[in-house]
């Protein structure tokens, strides 16, 4: 149990709250990307009901793919992430199976006492529907519904082909 000396005074509580708010305000402008939602410009909240008059049937694929030209894009509550949740990047080490590749994902851990960085490698089976991946490709895999006993990832994109720089 706490004694009366351990309790915070009202002034200390206010000072702590102000420090937390200042810290949160300082974090808003950080340039580091943590993989969370993309920050958007603040919007005008005076009119709660929004409507747009642009006809999206007349837009071509390039305009629809660009978030800046999509009408109503700024109205989305949680914009998509830059890096999908749970995504891993690794190298294809086997493509001998049908519609499946084996991807080796390297993770590094620093051992402070020895001042070294140790590499841990784990292999994941990933679904490759069109069989586009080849040995040595650098790919991004994302978690999906379990497809078989060992396969619960899908190839999202080929980041760098083996021969490409």
- Give dist(CA 21, CA 131) in Å, integer: 51
pLDDT at position 143: 94
Smallest Cα–Cα separation from 35: which of 105, 85, 106?
85
pLDDT tens for each residue of 46-85? 555 555 566 777 778 787 777 777 666 666 556 666 778 8
Question: What are 142's strand-pairing partners?
Answer: 154
Give residue 139's pLDDT band: very low, low, confident or very high (50, 70, 90): very high
pLDDT of residue 153: 95
pLDDT of residue 6: 59
**Would the pLDDT of 43 be above 90?**
no
Query: Considering the chain, what is the average pLDDT of its residues?
Result: 78
Three-state SS letters, 56-70: HHHCCHHHHHCCCCC
pTM of model > 0.85: no
Q: Report which of 139, 141, 131 is spatially closest to residue 97, judged by C-alpha positions.
A: 131
The helix/strand/coil state of 18 is: helix
pLDDT > 90 in the chain, percent:
42
């Amino acid at each position: 149990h706490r004694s009366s000396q351990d309790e915070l005074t009202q002034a200390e509580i206010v000072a702590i709250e102000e420090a937390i708010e200042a810290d949160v305000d300082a974090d808003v402008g950080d340039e580091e990307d943590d993989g969370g939602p993309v920050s958007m410009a603040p919007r005008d909240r005076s009119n709660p009901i929004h409507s747009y008059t642009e006809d999206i049937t007349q837009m071509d694929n390039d305009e629809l793919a660009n978030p800046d030209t999509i009408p109503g894009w700024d109205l989305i509550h949680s914009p998509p992430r830059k890096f999908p949740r749970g995504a891993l990047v690794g190298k294809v080490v086997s493509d001998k199976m049908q519609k499946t590749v084996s991807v080796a994902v390297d993770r590094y851990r620093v051992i402070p006492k020895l001042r070294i960085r140790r590499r841990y490698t784990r292999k994941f089976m990933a679904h490759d529907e069109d069989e586009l991946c080849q040995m040595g490709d650098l790919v991004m895999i994302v978690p999906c519904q379990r497809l078989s006993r060992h396969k619960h990832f899908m190839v999202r994109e080929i980041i760098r082909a083996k021969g490409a720089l």
